[in-house]
Amino acid sequence: MLSDGLWLPVSMALYFGAAVAAVVCIVRGNATMRPALWLLGLALVVHTIAIAERWIRVGHGPYVDLFEILSSNIWSLHLAALIGVILVPSVRQSLATALPVLQVLVWWIVVVPLSGAPAPVTYATVWLPVHAVLGKIFLGCMVLAVGVAVAVLLRRAGIARFAAMPADSGLGEIIYRLVLVAVIFESLMLVVGALWARDAWGRFWAWDPLETWAFATWLAAVGYLHLRALRPPPPTLDAVLVLAVFVIAFATFFGVPFISTAPHKGAV
Amino acid sequence: MTAVLYRIVKPVASLRLTVVLLAITAAVALAGETAGVAVGPVIAMPLGGMVLNLLAAIATNGKLRRQAGLLGFHLCLAALALLAALDRLTALEGHVEVSEGAAFDPALAQVQAGPWHWGRLADVRFVQGPFEISYAPGVKRRETFSTIRVPDADGQWHRVVVGDDKPLVAGSYRLYTSFNKGFAPILSFVDHSGRSHRGAVHLPSYPLNDFRQGNDWVLPGTDRTVKLWLSIGEPIVMPDASWRFHKPKGAVLVLIEGDKRRELAPGDSVTLGDGVLRYEELGSWMGYTISYNPFGPWMLAACLAGILFFAWHVFGKLWRRPVSAAASMGMQSHAV
């Protein structure tokens, strides 16, 4: 990562700074979270420059190898967190839980080597960016839900640092709504992925590892919605269920594509 | 619905059952994938259970039926399940190798077709021409440009270029080039009665089987088998550089029969028993995948309609009760 110019390492350092600032704000009782918000905004600006510079240099977008996919997801998920807390200021304190979760990706990219692999031929399609953007919106919604869910869990564990946030019932409703929107975008992602698969491999769906995991993610999210429709679970269980859905989604996005040799990986 | 029927169907419509079936389906899918078992067949049963649960819910759940967006979404899911079943019954998947200069022969295709498959693969006609394949460093396959000749309705032949992402679409069949391609020595054999046979022997896929470029061939009209091996000579694959798939110029065909070994250059002949075998030239073959999914577009339409209904339901719900109102379901009172 460090050999890919200066902008990217600087942006990663700023993301780290934003996560630290968010936690410090919570510890000091600063409900505005302004230092974290400013650092996050600055990190996104610098990271945007890094992505654009690399895009121009290598001739394709950030979607070919693990390094590029991590980079684009770090960007999009942090952007989702920022937009989320701007649109719903009452959950601004969840930055202190969402940003540390995203540090998993930030530290991961630091150790990922640059492969310099060319984009597979099947990536030359309009469906790829649409598929990728829909997936990022889905995961962005899930990250926001997880940020709120972790805040609920910490509060339930006796950590009184999220006093400015709504009560657990209100947070539960916000989590539920985020998962509702996430399911829309995951469904669209699957449909667009099927269209791309038909162009790329001649079939809409073939139960390859990534397709299977993406379907399981959809089932998990839909299962959560049905469970809530059945009987809203207590806040702790509600938060744990959302975390479970997120873990499956995380494995789908960041685990399966890099351990499977299926065509979906873009293997040629 | 009669009271008796309602009593029978109602338990099947249980939302608790929905949750259980969703969990079972996800678990079966992931277990099948992890175990390396084909997920499609093993998931059919829990999916079937979900469809029954869904239909029962649509029939008996008044709350579901009163919400147009949610009802539309679930009806689309039911339609999707029906279409998916029809698709599996009518689909065809397969692959075929076609020699350069030869016509596509459906009889040589290896296919798996559903019991209700109604397409006519025999109607697909094209003649394989030359093809170009480029490789990036690291033996990464790039674009394939396979030139074929295809007849139109008037019997006029047209040149068409197909590839990995640009199929030949013929009668709802889609044929894509695959990673599979290789060399094919073209041989002619004149048997003891003076009858001439000509054919191409497909060697294993190249460069996947770079060091195994051999195959057995039964001499036409006899039960004698000879072993053929292509000694490529010049290096074709360049692992650390860009290169193009091409036929090696100095390649020699090694013919082995019993303990006899002969090397043949293009144009060379050799007597084998009562017949004469002639190595004409080195050709090539191209591999294609074949697919046929007549219900695919309808399934996509059902998916899109379902998502639109669901989005209508969700955004209507969000619009009626903004997030600020939802969040104020009680400001924090949990300070410990």
For residue range A48-63, list pLDDT tens digits in order. 999 999 999 888 888 8
Closest-approach residue (CA) in chain A for B95: A202
Domain ranges of chain A: 1-114, 120-268
Helix (H, G, I), strand (E, B) or coil at A164: coil
- B336 and A230 in contact by Cβ < 8 A? no
Tokens found for residue B273: 């028993």
Q: How confident is the model at residue A242 (pLDDT cuts 50, 70, 90)?
A: very high
Q: Tell me: cis bond preceding B207? Omega within 30 of 0 counts.
A: yes
Residues of chain A contacting residue B136, judged by C-beta atoms under 8 Å apart: 118
- A118 and B136 in contact by Cβ < 8 A? yes
- pLDDT exceeds cutoff 60 at A12: yes
- pLDDT exceeds cutoff 60 at A264: no
- pLDDT exceeds cutoff 60 at B70: yes
Beta-sheet strand order (sheet of B260-264): B214-218, B225-231, B252-257, B260-264
Q: What pLDDT was estimated at residue B139?
A: 87
Distance, CA of A60 to CA of A44 (rounded, Å): 20
Beta-sheet strand order (sheet of B127-136): B157-162, B140-151, B127-136, B243-244
Q: Report chain A's C-alpha Rg in angstroms.
A: 19
CA B231-B234-B239 angle, to 5 degrees, is 110
Amino acid letter, A21:
A
CB of A180 within 8 A of CB of A187?
no
- pLDDT exceeds cutoff 80 at B334: no
Mean pLDDT of A131-157: 95
Instruction: Indicate the average pLDDT of chain B.
Output: 90
CB of B292 within 8 A of CB of B117?
yes
Q: How confident is the model at residue A268 (pLDDT cuts 50, 70, 90)?
A: very low
Q: What pLDDT was estimated at residue A263?
A: 45
* A-interface mutation test, from B17, B19, B86, most A Cβ less than 10 A away: B19
- pLDDT exceeds cutoff 60 at A27: yes
Strand partners, B275: B272
Distance, CA of B336 to CA of B97 (rounded, Å): 72
Closest CB to A219: pick one of B22, B32, B136.
B22
A113 DSSP assignment: P
- With the CA atoms of A109, A112, A113 and A114 taken in that order, what torsion angle do they form, in degrees rounded to the nearest 10? -40
Helix (H, G, I), strand (E, B) or coil at B286: strand
Listed range (B137-146, B180-189, B302-311) with the worst mean pLDDT = B137-146
- pLDDT exceeds cutoff 90 at B284: yes
Q: What pLDDT was estimated at residue A259?
A: 67
The percentage of residues in chain B with a pLDDT greater than 70, rounded to a whole number, is 96
- pLDDT exceeds cutoff 60 at A221: yes
Tokens found for residue B163: 């590839």
Q: What pLDDT was estimated at residue A227?
A: 95
* B-interface mutation test, from A90, A219, A227, most B Cβ less than 10 A away: A219
Q: How confident is the model at residue A267 (pLDDT cuts 50, 70, 90)?
A: very low
Please enumerate in sequence order all residues whose Cβ is within 8 A of that of A104, keeping only pairs 6 or more positions apart, or say none: none
Q: Report chain B's C-alpha Rg in angstroms.
A: 30
Beta strand ranges found along A157-230 (DSSP E): none
Helix (H, G, I), strand (E, B) or coil at A196: helix
Q: What pLDDT was estimated at residue B332?
A: 43
- A223 and B22 in contact by Cβ < 8 A? yes
Q: Could you say which residues from 275 to 334 on chain B have a Cβ atom under 8 Å away from some Cβ of chain A?
A: 289-291, 293, 296, 299-300, 303-304, 306-307, 310-311, 314, 317-318, 323-324, 326-334
Mean pLDDT of A121-147: 91
Strand partners, B150: B158
Closest CB to B311: pick one of A124, A184, A215.
A184
Q: What pLDDT was estimated at residue B48?
A: 92
